Amino acid sequence: MGIFSKELGIDLGTMFTRIAEAGAVILEEPSIVAVDLEAQKMVEIGRAAQNMLGRVDEDHIQVTRVLRHGVVAYYEYTQILLSQLLERIGGGFGFIKLRPKIMITHPYGITSVERRAVHEAALDVGDAQLIPQPLAAALGVDLPIGTPSGNMIVLLGGGCSQAAVIAMHDIVSAETLRLGGLDLDEAIVTYVRRKYGLIIGLPTAEQVKIRIGAAVPQDQELSIDIQGQDQVSGLPKPLTLTTGEIVEAVEDTLDQIFETVRRVLEKTPPELASDIIDRGIALCGGGALLRGMEKLMTQKLGVPTYLVDNPLTCVAEGACRAQDLYKLLQRNLPQF
Ligand SMILES: Nc1ncnc2c1ncn2[C@@H]1O[C@H](COP(=O)(O)OP(=O)(O)OP(=O)(O)O)[C@@H](O)[C@H]1O
Ligand SMILES: [Mg+2]
């Protein structure tokens, strides 16, 4: 495909922005910027900015995620992040002046003001259309959403969790809970503080979750050695955490997510619900990678749940595919 006819799918996420072209992700960067407050100048974006988290003087350099719980928190920073990422894809040369066709995603059920913020930030860099993330994810994992059968997708991101039932290219019932992987990390921080009187940072908590964490007790218990800071003395102190402890730490947050999925199932017309029981629930998003997540969901909801092949990239890939289906989808998408 020539540079003049670029069609891109962009998944603007709380943790990562992923850009897909021709159905495959070609760029993935943390949705983070570092700004020099005095000079009011962007210092770094993406991975380079992430490396500065917690390591720079916050009075001078602000390192921040541009989204909170899936919605734009810093509009101008989001604009700059998008334009720099797109310029990177185009290899400079004023690529965005050529107005690539962009399909950009947003969480289901956000307000029209929140939707407009995503849309306008994207209009700045191209000819942009919007698509809700569960619909993009369903396209990205090849669910037969153009048929009258019921398809259910659960998307567990870093900032929000979404559950949707889709049929005939339309979202029949859905809900978004503004809780995600970052809240699991926070639950781990709280657990360690309460149990051991030690303070750990969110990045450490995320590492613990990924390396040894699980949603249900595992046959093989893993452990990890970390350093915390003693709440009283302020001194560093080593600590060993085990899988079972993480299961306990994240239990309540996971329960809130399952409640949301359950409500969506309850709102689903019985004919579609029986299709879902036959076909199972497709689980995606980074949170789907927590050990035993599909097992716990199957147990809690009584509906078979399976992990998709491309949990991290399906939203961006589906957004890219949605370009061809836009006329069909448009009838059902929220209008401004
Ligand atoms: N192996 C893993 N085990 C547990 N959690 C994981 C694993 N890998 C990634 N995650 C979590 O997945 C989350 C990121 O998922 P994802 O990239 O789908 O989020 P996002 O799209 O940026 O956010 P959102 O969709 O909520 O705006 C992070 O919280 C991360 O800790
Ligand atoms: Mg996401």
**Ligand 1 pocket residue status of 70, Cβ below 6 Å:** yes
C-alpha distances in Å from residue 90, one per residue of 6, 40, 125, 320: 9, 26, 12, 17
CATH code of the region 143-308: 3.30.420.40
Mean residue pLDDT across the chain: 94
Tokens found for residue 206: 């995320």
pLDDT of 285 strictly over 60: yes
Q: With bands split at pLDDT 50, 70 and 90, how would you rate the model's confidence at 122?
A: very high
CA of 77 to the centre of ligand 1 (A): 21
Would you tell me how many other CB atoms lie within 10 Å of the CB of residue 333? 16
Atom of ligand 1 nearest to the CA of 311: 18
Q: Is the pLDDT of residue 278 over 70?
A: yes
Nearest Cα residue to 175 out of 274, 295, 300, 70: 70
Ligand 1 near 109 CB (within 6 A): no
The string of pLDDT tens digits covering residues 251-265 is 999 999 999 999 999
Percent of the chain exceeding pLDDT 70 equals 97
Give how far the C-alpha of residue 259 lies from the chain's centroid of Cα atoms, to the nearest Å: 19
Ligand lying nearest the CA atom of residue 156: 1
State whether the beta carbon of 136 lies less than 6 angstroms from ligand 1. no
Distance 198 CA to ligand 2 centre (A): 31
User: What is the arithmetic mean of pLDDT over 264-290?
Assistant: 97
Whether residue 5 is predicted with pLDDT greater than 80 in this model: the reply is no
Ligand 1 neighbourhood includes 30 CB (under 6 angstroms): no
Rounded to the nearest angstrom, the distance between the alpha carbon of 293 and the centre of ligand 1 is 13
Q: How confident is the model at residue 1 (pLDDT cuts 50, 70, 90)?
A: very low
The residue to mutate among 19, 47, 176, 289, having the most atoms of ligand 1 within 8 angstroms of its beta carbon, is 289
Q: Do domains 3-31+66-136+315-330 and 143-308 have the same CATH topology?
A: yes
pLDDT tier, 2 (very low <50, low <70, confident <90, very high otherwise): very low
Ligand 1 touching residue 212 (CB < 6 A):
no
Ligand 1 and 286: CB distance under 6 A: yes
Tell me the pTM.
Answer: 0.95
* Reported confidence tier of residue 336, pLDDT bands at 50, 70, 90: low
> What pLDDT score does 331 carry?
75
Residue 36 has which token pair?
């020099």
Q: What local confidence, expressed as pLDDT, does residue 94 receive? A: 73
The protein residue whose alpha carbon is closest to atom 8 in ligand 1 is: 286
> Tokens for 93?
């040369």
Cβ within 8 Å of residue 223, ≥6 positions away = 212, 240, 241, 242, 243
For the record, the structure tokens of 193 come out as 């503080």
Pocket test for ligand 1, best of 10, 11, 14 (most atoms within 8 A of CB): 14
Q: What's the per-residue H, E or C state across the chain? A: CCHHHCEEEEEECCCEEEEEECCEEEEEEECEEEEECCCCEEEEEHHHHHCCCCCCCCCCEEEEECEECCEECCHHHHHHHHHHHHHHHHCCCCHHHHCCEEEEEECCCCCHHHHHHHHHHHHCCCEEEEEEHHHHHHHHCCCCCCCCCCEEEEEECCCCEEEEEEECCEEEEEEEECCCHHHHHHHHHHHHHHHHCEECCHHHHHHHHHHHCECCCCCCCCEEEEEEEECCCCCEEEEEEEHHHHHHHHHHHHHHHHHHHHHHHHHCCHHHHHHHHHHCEEEECHHHHCECHHHHHHHHHCCCEEECCCCCCHHHHHHHHHHHHHHHHHCCCCCC
Please state the domain extents for the chain. Answer: 3-31+66-136+315-330, 143-308
Q: Give residue 151's pLDDT.
A: 97
Give yes or no for a contact between 14 and 65, defined as CB atoms under 8 angstroms apart: yes
Residue 131 tokens read as 């698509």
User: Using a 6 Å cutoff on CB, does residue 313 contact ligand 1?
Assistant: no
| pLDDT tens figures, 137-194 | 999 999 999 999 999 999 999 999 999 999 999 999 999 999 999 999 999 999 999 9
- Closest ligand 1 atom to the C-alpha of 70? 27
Q: Which fold has domain 3-31+66-136+315-330?
A: Nucleotidyltransferase; domain 5 (3.30.420)
Greater confidence, 237 or 6? 237
Phi/psi at 19 (5° precision)? -120, 130
70-87 pLDDT tens trace:
999 999 999 999 999 999
pLDDT digits (tens, 9 = 90+) for 301-314: 999 999 999 999 99
Q: What is the pLDDT of residues 217-260, one digit of tens each?
A: 999 999 999 999 999 999 999 999 999 999 999 999 999 999 99
